[in-house]
Amino acid sequence: MNVRTIAQQGLWQNNAALVQLLGLCPLLAVSNSFATSLGLGLVTLFVLTLSNLFISLIRHWLDEETRLPVQILVIATFVTLADLVLQSSFFELHQRIGLFVALIVTNCTLLGRAEAFASRNPIGYSIADGFMMGLGFLVALLAMGTVRELLGHGTLFANLDLLTGLPDITITIADRGFLLMVLPPGAFLTLGCLIALKNWIDGEAN
């Protein structure tokens, strides 16, 4: 066990979205633009890292029978705090993705890592695992967001300035796009192709 294997697992080999297929609801719902993908991905990363940290901190104090509800309690607390911070510092982003920030609690990645890793491993490794799993999820989100926005809207980085306070760097390659890509079926198709691509890359590497 070292940080390098944790990173490999979180980013590629055991990627939360592309391999474990966890957190698909937020993944599919907010990935129709790069900006919303970035927003939700960063919040998820933040909450996942903190929840892993905290649960690792109290792992010896937990009882076997109440472990799961306590983990959910911790995750829900951090999600609530993150939502409050979002409302006070990134209000536009909250207007766009607020619904999905609340749903981060239901993202199985968080409970999954809490149960499978943070409740059994030291704080340092748990933080690393939370961060890497969150980063892997973020990367998957950004890949989806890029494809869906380019094909669905014909733009990239649209509204990034509004939502995150970064300068406007919108790239427009077309007036309109393929509507399907911003609707749920397009999300599924994109995800399927991404997973296929990853599997193909893994196959070629062997």
Partner 1 sequence: MTIVKPILLALICGLLIAVTHVQLQHTIADNQRYYEERVLREMIGDLELQKNNDGWLIRQGENSLGQLSATTTEQGYNGIIRLFVAYTNQGEVISVRVTDHQETPGIGDGIELVVSDWVLGFEGRTLTGEHSVMALDGLTGATITSDAVKSAVNEVIAP
Contact 169, 48 (CB under 8 A): no
Residue 4, interface with partner 1 (CB under 8 A)? no
Q: Which is nearer to partner 1, 20 or 71 (CB)?
A: 71
Residue 25, interface with partner 1 (CB under 8 A)? no
Residue 159, interface with partner 1 (CB under 8 A)? yes
User: Which residues have CB under 8 Å from 43's CB, separation 6+?
Assistant: 82, 86, 97, 101, 104
Chain centroid offset of residue 76 CA: 16
Q: Which is nearer to partner 1, 99 or 171 (CB)?
A: 99
Residue in 73, 116, 166, 196 binding partner 1, rule: CB under 8 A: 73
Please return the burial class of 87, using the count of CB atoms within 10 Å of its CB with bins 0-12, 13-18 and 19+.
middle
**What is the smallest separation between the CB atom of 185 and partner 1, expressed in angstroms?**
10
Neighbours of 149 (CB within 10 A): 26
Residue 85, interface with partner 1 (CB under 8 A)? yes
Q: Which is nearer to partner 1, 70 or 123 (CB)?
A: 70
Residue in 32, 49, 119, 155 binding partner 1, rule: CB under 8 A: 32
Residue 80, interface with partner 1 (CB under 8 A)? yes
Phi first, then psi: give them for residue 169, nearest 5 degrees. -130, 35
Stretch that binds partner 1, among 118-126, 133-141, 176-184, 190-198 (CB under 8 A): 176-184
Q: Which is nearer to partner 1, 65 or 204 (CB)?
A: 65
Residue 95, interface with partner 1 (CB under 8 A)? yes
**What is the smallest separation between the CB atom of 96 and partner 1, expressed in angstroms?**
7
Contact 67, 119 (CB under 8 A): yes
Residue 38, interface with partner 1 (CB under 8 A)? no
With both helix axes pointing from N to C terminus, report the angle between 34-57 and 123-153 in degrees, rounded to the nearest 10: 170
| Sheet strands (E) in the chain | 155-156, 171-172
> What's the farthest any 2 CA atoms get from each other in the chain?
57
- Contact residues for partner 1 (CB under 8 A)? 29-30, 32, 58, 61-63, 65-66, 69-70, 73-74, 76-77, 80-81, 84-85, 87-89, 91, 95-96, 99, 159, 182-184
